[in-house]
Amino acid sequence: MTTYSADLTGWRAHAAARGDSAPTDATDALAGAALQRGADYIRSRYVARMAVGTDTTDARITEAIYIASDQELASPWFWDTIYTPSQIKILTRADKFQWTPAAGGDASGPDMQRPVSAAIEDILYPLMVPRIGTMVV
């Protein structure tokens, strides 16, 4: 079993420092379930792709769990949402937030059909193992 340093007390402190009282306002049972689902998402989407032996108590992993848990508390099972290719949008203009539906190959692969957090991606990117594959032309 994977060991993390994320816990309710830490998550509540992390959120409170950012002006978010939701984890503190929630019952221990609700917050604990959201924290577990957030940790499950980080484990299955990121830790599973890290080098064997990565320290899962690393502060970056803990922070990513807290960020994922925030979303889970606000919208239970958020990270289990699957989108069809026709629902996937790509941000194509940031100054006025313009979204364009993804077309064909832009929506390929299992990760393109799941929610993604830019903050989590940025925090955990340095811990990820590059995937080396073969491209046939």
Residue 13: name the closest of 46, 57, 55, 62 by CA.
62
Q: How many domains does the chain have?
A: 1
Query: Is residue 56 included in any domain, yes or no?
Result: yes
Q: Which residues contact 72 (CB under 8 A, 6 or more apart)?
A: 33, 34, 35, 37, 38, 41, 78, 79
Query: Is residue 3 included in any domain, yes or no?
Result: no
Q: What Cα–Cα distance (Å) separates residue 3 from each residue in 21, 75, 98, 117? A: 26, 25, 41, 22
* Per-residue model confidence as pLDDT tens digits over 110-137: 566 778 899 999 999 999 887 555 445 5
Query: Is residue 31 included in any domain, yes or no?
Result: yes
* Per-residue model confidence as pLDDT tens digits over 70-106: 999 999 999 998 877 777 777 787 787 777 776 654 5
Query: Is residue 70 included in any domain, yes or no?
Result: yes
Structural domain containing residue 19: 8-81+116-127
